[in-house]
Structure 1
Amino acid sequence: MQRLIILLFILSSVLSGSVLSQPIKQNNKDKRTIRLLLNDWASQVVMTKITGRLFEKLGYHIEYLESNVDGQWYQLKFMNADIQVEVWEGTMAKKYHQLINNGDIVDAGEHAAKTREDWWYPDYIEEQCPGLPDWRALKKCFKVFITTESDPLGQYVGGPWEKPDAARIRALDLPFKIIQAKDSEELKARFEEAVKQRHPILIFNWTPNYIEAEIPGKFIEFPEYTPECEKNASWGYSKIFPWDCGNPKGGWLKKVVRKGFKQEKPCVYAVLSKISFTNEMMSLLSKLVDVDGLSSTDAADFWLANNKKIWLDWIKNYQQCQS
């Protein structure tokens, strides 16, 4: 019923012209294509569609290019794509800094949202594993997490993105085996099945996303991250191995463009730099797709219809910039 109401609202808004007004008219020679990268998780896709719709309003033709996290850097570096609207510090900082330092991409500003990516569990597990979310509790109750895939070790379900999970398990001497999800859909399916059955699960999770609004849970609190943890094996708990710490907390969330884009389209770049989503906004976008079952396009239209004041502020100086 909720999904039907949302879809009817979107349809009526589109027909009445309330979602977006007519595009600003430009000369044909001024109309240029903007190529936006689509990754494989809900918030990124919906945010990209929202950005695309706003640039369409400003008279541009939009192309959406699907790419995984690794492939997107190639697309940006070799100028096959123009914009990525959701770059996470926890997963993408290494390649971000590499391409920034080489002059292959340009920073287009941060979102208001702060990120975290790490091991996570639903609250109902705390009865079976006293001491959580302290990481040391996992050494005592790892048997709670044993599955047929991991026996005789506890199971940790890792995401499809590069993380130092194996190095952390070694450095902290954790009796766990990583079962790697091939994509975000498998990660979601494993999580939802475990929660439905109230089975113990330790899984890669991130914020912002829809889970925090649906299922009470917590991140494992590993030793606090510092750059020394990555580089200096003698630092911290292990004294032998690096990565005896958690992932960074309160990470940044950025937008980036390919080299030359800012010079070619300075007014578009100025609009992009103003676009900023909060944790709450991004959680809603994820929920519209992952829980309510909307398509990414319908979710983008729904958000635009209900947040006109926000996005009008983002684009309000475009015409003045063009003059």
Structure 2
Amino acid sequence: MMNRKHTRTAVAAATVALALSGLSACGAAKTNSSGGSGSGKVTLTVPSWVGAEANAAVAKYILEHELDTKVETTQLDETVAFDALNSGKADAILEDWGGAAKKVSQYVDDKKTIVGAGELGVTGHIGWFVPKYLADEHPDITDWKNLDKYKKLFETAESGDKGQLLEGSPSYTTNDDALIKNLKLDYKTVYAGSEAAQITQIKENYKAKKPFISYWWTPQWLNSQLDLVEVKLPEYKEGCDADAKKVACGYAKTPLQKYLNADFAKDGGDAAEFLKNFSWTNDQQNEVAAMIANDKMSADKAAEKWVKANKDVWQAWLPKK
């Protein structure tokens, strides 16, 4: 996911091209607002994890039901999402973890085709986590300096004679291979394939009380159901992750950011103002994410349920009349 990043980068250039051509085919980002309550059509980019899906679902529901604005959502990795905003094929990124720094420099700072839209209100953090039952049995396992001492507990068929560090999707950008190498740990990253597959594996291991160590993050709805303990990595300091090959520090706590296409930010009327105002907490995001991922509700139904129960929260996001 990141050096101060939670970036989900595209797996291949072909994926990027396909995603952007798909956006074009959908006629995305054709906003025609003149500042009134009806704001035409808005396209929201959604990265491939359920917390971000929760953001988009709630924003979509309120835009459509309160601001008479049609919303399209499209799943794009962060770097591709910035390209889409730059080209005008999408209007908004609602959850950026700071992993596309070059794109921000290119489009926000230099070309000014994208503008910052403030903080989402959610603070993200990545780390390595073990189940509490394992930490209770081996208290010193929560210090990275002792991980090699316990590596046999984490050996799997996939990791061989090394300890397995469970990862999610191969498209997530992480520092973990560099951390393993630079901290001289006898471990190997093994990818579950997706967030959902990683969660399935974690839940199965937890239920069986098996030892495991996983790349994990907050906010995450599953944290309310499982007791996980973070392994202390070397302290994060500003710039310690600047060179991806030399990273030897833990991950930052990152206030997640929103971005808008610059033309949409200027001419998008109530829809743009609403997205600038949209801000909620880790717990609120987790509540909707859990409905989607754990309760198996559709994103639209989860958003509807949350919106109807939290009018006092979202009314503050609406444009002032």
Cα distance change of structure 1 residues 94 and 117 upon mapping to structure 2, 3 Å threshold: farther
Distance 1:262 1:29, change over 3 A: closer
Residues 231 and 88 of structure 1: is their aligned pair in 2 closer, same or farther, counting only changes over 3 Å? closer
Structure 2: give runs of 5+ residues left out of the alignment. 1-33
1:142 aligned to which of 146, 151, 164: 151
Q: 2: CA distance between counterparts of 1:131 and 1:254?
A: 35
Task: Give the aligned partner of residue 38 of structure 1.
Answer: 46
CA, structure 1 residues 166+58, in 2 after alignment: closer, same or farther (shift >3 Å)? same
Unpaired runs of at least 5, structure 1? 1-25, 234-240
SS of residue paired to 2:241:
helix
Contact 1:112 1:278 in 2 (8 A): yes
| CA–CA distance in structure 1, aligned partners of residues 35 and 217 of structure 2 | 44
RMSD of aligned residue pairs (Cα, Å): 2.4
Aligned to 2:205: 194
Q: Higher mean Cα deviation, 149-158 or 32-41?
A: 32-41
Structure 1 residue aligned with 2:29: none
Aligned length: 284
Asked if the contact 1:129–1:141 (Cα under 8 Å) also holds between the matched residues in 2, the reply is no
2:226 counterpart of 1:223: no
- Residue aligned with 1:260, SS: helix
Q: Aligned residue for 1:88? A: 97
- Give, in angstroms, the shift of residue 30 of structure 1: 5.8
Structure 1 Cα separation of the partners of residues 35 and 284 of structure 2:
35
Larger radius of gyration: 1
TM-score calculated relative to the size of structure 2: 0.81
Query: Does 2:184 align with 1:184?
Result: no
Offset of 1:231 from its aligned partner?
Answer: 4.2
Q: Pick one of 265, 272, 277 that aligns with 2:268.
A: 265
* Structure-2 change in CA distance of 1:229 and 1:28 (3 Å): closer
Q: Out of 173, 179, 194, which is 2:184 matched to? A: 173
Shift of 1:200: 1.2
Given that 2:270 and 2:319 are in contact with CA atoms closer than 8 Å, whether structure 1 keeps it comes out as no
- d(CA) in 1 for partners of 2:232, 2:130: 11
User: Is residue 58–residue 307 contact of structure 2 (8 Å, CA) maintained in 1?
Assistant: yes
Match of 1:185, SS state, is helix
123-132 or 204-213, larger mean C-alpha shift: 123-132
1:129 and 1:144 in contact (8 A); partners too: no
Counterpart in 2 of 1:288? 291
Of 291-300 and 98-107, more deviation after overlay is shown by 98-107
